[in-house]
Amino acid sequence: MLDGGLFTEPAPPPTVTYSICVRERGEAGDRFGVAAATRVPAVGSVCPHVGDGGAVAVAGVADRDLGPRCLAELTAGRRLEDVVDDAAAASRQLHGVDPESSAARTGADCPAVAAHRVGDGYTVAGTSMADEGVLDALEQGYAENERDAPLAHRLLTALAAGERAGGDRRDLPVGSAAVVVNTGREREPLHHDLRVDASETPVADLRETYRQAKRGYEAAVERYR
C-alpha cells in the first residue's frame, strides 16, 4: 500500500484568468462566445463553456463539471442570475450571458486584483490581474474592433488587448488561452473551438492558430463542396 510520498498528486492551482463572455443577435439566432487566458496551462479545459442556451466562464477553485452543469441549467430554462448565484463561492469567479441577460460574481477570496463588469450582452472578469485596466481593455477591444469580423476573431482581439494591458500579473513561464463560439449552426466550424494549452506566448499563438485553422477549414470546404 502506497502512503503518499512521490505518488501523492499535488493539489492543482486555482484557475486564475481574465476572460470575456458575449451574446450577439444574428439572423440565425443568438451567437455566444467565450475567450480566456491565464499564466498556467490548460485554461480551455476548465474555464470557457458555451452552448445553445448561453455562455459561462469559470475561474478560481472549481471542478471541471461546474461549467457544463451551468449550461445544462440554462438549457433547462433557469434564469442566468439564479444559476450564477447557486454556483457562487468565496474562492470562485463566475460570469456569463444567456439569451436575455448577463451576470457575474467574484468571490471575496479570489486573488487580487479580482473584479468583473456586466454590460449589455457581455461580461468581462479577471482574477490576479495587473489592475482593472485589463477589464477596460477587454471591453474596448471587443467593442471597438471590426464589427463585421467573425465573433471568434473579435474575441481574440479583445483577449490580446487585455494581455497588452497587463493580463495575468503572475510571473510564470507557461500560460494558456482558449476561445469557444456557438453560432447556432447545425455543424459549427471546427475553428470555433480552439485552445493553446501550454505556451510562453499563448494569446499570440492562439490568434495564429485561429488564422491557420480558419484558412484550412475554408480551403477544405472549397475542395469538397
From CA 67, how far away is CA 44, in angstroms rounded? 11
Cα torsion 34, 73, 106, 163 to 10°: value is -10
Residue 149 pLDDT exceeds 50: yes
- pLDDT value at residue 13: 59
Name the least confident of 14-28, 43-57, 96-110, 200-214: 14-28
End-to-end CA distance of the chain: 59
Beta bridge partners, 51, equal 54
- The domain made up of 11-224 has a fold known as Glutamine Phosphoribosylpyrophosphate, subunit 1, domain 1 (3.60.20)
Beta bridge partners, 97, equal 55, 102
Residue 6 pLDDT grade (very low, low, confident, very high; cuts 50, 70, 90): very low
Residue 16 pLDDT grade (very low, low, confident, very high; cuts 50, 70, 90): confident
- Name the residue ranges covered by the structural domains of the chain: 11-224
- pLDDT value at residue 60: 85
At what angle are helices 80-87 and 66-75 packed, to 10 degrees?
A: 150
Q: What is the largest CA-CA distance in the chain?
A: 61
Residue 12 pLDDT grade (very low, low, confident, very high; cuts 50, 70, 90): low
Averaged over 43-60, what is the pLDDT? 95
Residue 35 pLDDT grade (very low, low, confident, very high; cuts 50, 70, 90): very high
pTM for the whole thing?
0.92
Q: Based on DSSP, count helices (H) and strands (E) in the chain, helices before strands.
A: 5, 10
Name the least confident of 52-56, 78-82, 148-152: 148-152
> What are the CA-CA distances from residue 57 to residues 1, 164, 219 (Å)?
40, 21, 32
pLDDT tens digit sequence for 75-101: 999 999 999 999 999 999 999 999 999
